[in-house]
């Protein structure tokens, strides 16, 4: 059971917009930044979004992050087939004194 809660799956068709949610608590998302990582199965994860809404260099502006209270979201617009991957949210947890990840959302395009 992950500390951060993500829906296990999401789907969309090319060109559509999909939004991933990440729910936590006061000790993690509520008091710290949220990060989003993407992983194509069989490969290493890659950073997409840092400090809630900052896109890593090279990440298209189709990807956008936001945070409100103890929840965060990652939106992907103009879906492409190459966006098909697993998406993970993460945040530092003050109570656990460590990073916590969501269980990941598998995106099917």
Residues that bind other proteins (CB under 8 A): 2, 32-33, 35, 37, 39, 43-47, 50-51, 54, 56, 86, 88, 90, 92, 96-104
Residue among 16 and 64 whose Cβ is closer to other proteins: 64
Distance in Å, CB of 36 to other proteins, minimum: 9
Distance in Å, CB of 90 to other proteins, minimum: 8
Residue 36 CB coordination number (10 Å)? 27
How far apart CA 64 and CA 48 sit, in angstroms, is 9
Helices then strands, counting H and E runs in the chain, come out as 0, 10
């Amino acid at each position: 059971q992950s500390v951060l809660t993500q829906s296990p799956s999401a789907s969309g068709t090319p060109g559509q917009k999909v939004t991933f949610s990440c729910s936590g608590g006061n000790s993690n998302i509520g008091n710290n930044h949220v990060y989003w990582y993407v992983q194509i199965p069989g490969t290493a994860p890659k950073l997409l979004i840092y400090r809630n809404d900052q896109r890593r260099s090279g990440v298209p502006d189709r990807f956008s992050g936001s945070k409100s209270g103890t929840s965060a979201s990652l939106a992907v617009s103009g879906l492409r087939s190459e966006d098909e991957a697993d998406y993970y949210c993460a945040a530092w947890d003050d109570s656990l004194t460590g990073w916590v990840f969501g269980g990941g959302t598998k995106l099917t395009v």
